[in-house]
Amino acid sequence: MKTIYNQNIMVQIFRDHWSQFKRFHPNLTDDNIESNVQKMMGCGLKENGYIEYWCVTPGCHRKKIIPFSCKSRFCLRCGRVYVEKWLLRMKQTIFNKVIHRHVILTVPSTIWPYIHKDRRLVDILTTQAKELLEDMVGKFKPKRPLKIGIIAVIQTFGRRGTFNPHVHLLVTEGGIAQDGRWYNVTYIDKDTLKTKWLYYLLKGLKQALKDDPEALKIIEEIYRKRKDKGLITRAMRDKVRQRDIVSYLISYVASPPITLSRIVDYDGEYVTYIYKEHPTNKKITIKVTAYQFIAWMTQHIAPKGLQMVRYFGLYARKVITKTKAIIEKVLKEAGVTFERPVLKNKTYRERMIESFKLDPLICPKCKQKMELMYIWHPKYGYLYDFIRDTKEIIPNVLEKKEERCQYINDNNLPSLQEAVRDT
């Protein structure tokens, strides 16, 4: 079997250099990073578990082994599935047919080291961004304040892949007033947005870093230099409105810091990759050592428990559950058709057919459907054996081993129930 080692340059780079990288840079690793890297390096290896199919057509008997994937967001292969599942959840959450504005808020580079050191400051970025938008949109007309919907997403990398934390937001262009009616707000003054973001961001950072004199000096310096022009922000409307804004934002923000197609060369010591320079969109080629590449990639692994996506206002979890019916009624009265699409997770088989136009369970030789023979896990052994578990034993397998098989049942591989059903 051809392992993923021969197909995935990212995996190869880490397998070649991870042990040495940890020795030379112990300050750049922790248990969470180690766990994600180990999962990624073991992704697609037979020794980490697999599902085996056989063609039972007389005279054929072809075998196919599908190794388990790692389910780590850090893995470039599994990260794609993560993005698909997140997009599915977002489309089920967001108010369909309601116009949203995509807002980007940047952070001065002198603050980046503090966020890199203490990722809890990410909460400051999202909460202050929420206050800014409630001020700009929710209080657009002070006599008629609106409750708006905000989804905030933190992205820690720029186009080059280096550490560059900033905030992406989806905000409803309007909201619900106290009289229960929906009012549109389609205008956001870009100059006011820049100066107000400077005020809200520095206000939050000043409170969070009040015990750090050096940080307070930097904050004062930022204010002195930027008080007249504010910070760099974007509040795109026309360009993004021409496409599915949810799909656009998720594919852009939730994607990993680099894709396999951007890594153009690896010679065992140096990694060469390309990126599009902002704002010219020109392709730039950069060559770095494997150790530098690893350091840049691993710094984007979010600490356990850190929320990189936050929901506010109409999209707050508690509110959207309790008031969904009210919101739908208000939107319909305003002439907005509210539709919540019925979507389902794609199975491994469906994704393969969609991506490669090939059914992975069809024998390439005789074109007949292959039968599930084995499901093997390195810790639990054979969870399913066709010869052992056929007929009356199959229901017991589903009942007794369902708990052990949750790692399969996330639609990144065929679930045990689906695999047995297909036999």
Burial class (CB in 10 A: 0-12, 13-18, 19+), 34: middle
Q: Which residue has the tokens 């840049």?
A: 296
pLDDT at position 402: 42
Residue 381 within a domain: yes
**Sheet harboring 63-67: ordered strands across?**
63-67, 50-54, 371-377, 381-385
Q: Of 96, 57, 91, 66, whose CA–CA distance to 4 is shortest? A: 66
Give 279's Cβ-side CA count (13 Å radius). 2
Residue 338 within a domain: no
The single-letter DSSP state of residue 345 is: P
What does DSSP say about strands 163-172 and 233-236: parallel, antiparallel, or unpaired?
unpaired
Task: Mark whether 157 and 204 lie in a shared domain.
Answer: yes
- In the chain, which residues have pLDDT < 70? 1-7, 96, 237-255, 321-324, 331, 334-343, 390-423
Residue 289 within a domain: no
Q: Give the bridge partners for 100, in sequence order.
A: 172
Measured distance CA(8)–CA(134) in Å, rounded: 44
Structure tokens at 348: 């491994």
Structure tokens at 418: 């689906």
Residue 82 within a domain: yes
**Number of C-beta neighbours around residue 110 at 10 A:** 13
Task: Mark whether 60 and 194 lie in a shared domain.
Answer: no
Task: Mark whether 206 and 247 lie in a shared domain.
Answer: yes
Task: Mark whether 107 and 162 lie in a shared domain.
Answer: yes
Task: Mark whether 130 and 229 lie in a shared domain.
Answer: yes
Give Cα 257 to chain centroid, integer Å.
10
Task: Mark whether 246 and 352 lie in a shared domain.
Answer: no
Task: Mark whether 32 and 140 lie in a shared domain.
Answer: no
Task: Mark whether 97 and 149 lie in a shared domain.
Answer: yes
Residue 276 within a domain: no
Task: Mark whether 249 and 149 lie in a shared domain.
Answer: yes
Task: Mark whether 128 and 218 lie in a shared domain.
Answer: yes
pLDDT at position 219: 96
Residue 213 within a domain: yes
Residue 144 within a domain: yes
pLDDT at position 391: 54
DSSP-based three-state secondary structure for 127? helix
Burial class (CB in 10 A: 0-12, 13-18, 19+), 22: middle
Task: Mark whether 247 and 360 lie in a shared domain.
Answer: no
Kindly tell me the sign of the dihedral angle through the C-alpha atoms of 208, 212, 213, 219: negative
- What's the one-letter identity of residue 272? T
Kindly tell me the sign of the dihedral angle through the C-alpha atoms of 155, 156, 161, 164: positive
Report the C-alpha dihedral over residues 225, 228, 232, 235, rounded to 10 degrees: 170
Domain coverage including residue 406: 4-72+347-421
- What's the one-letter identity of residue 119? R
Tell me which H or E stretch contains 286: strand 283-289
CA angle 251, 252, 253 (to 5 degrees): 100
Q: Is the peptide bond before 279 cis (omega within 30 degrees of 0)?
A: yes
Residue 274 within a domain: no
Task: Mark whether 146 and 45 lie in a shared domain.
Answer: no
pLDDT at position 93: 74
Q: Of 209, 283, 235, 257, whose CA–CA distance to 104 is shortest? A: 235
Per the structure, the count of domains in the chain is 2
DSSP-based three-state secondary structure for 150? strand
Instruction: Return all residues near 348 (Cβ < 8 A) that are at least 6 apart.
Output: 66, 360, 411, 412, 413, 414
Measured distance CA(90)–CA(22) in Å, rounded: 37
Measured distance CA(300)–CA(264) in Å, rounded: 21
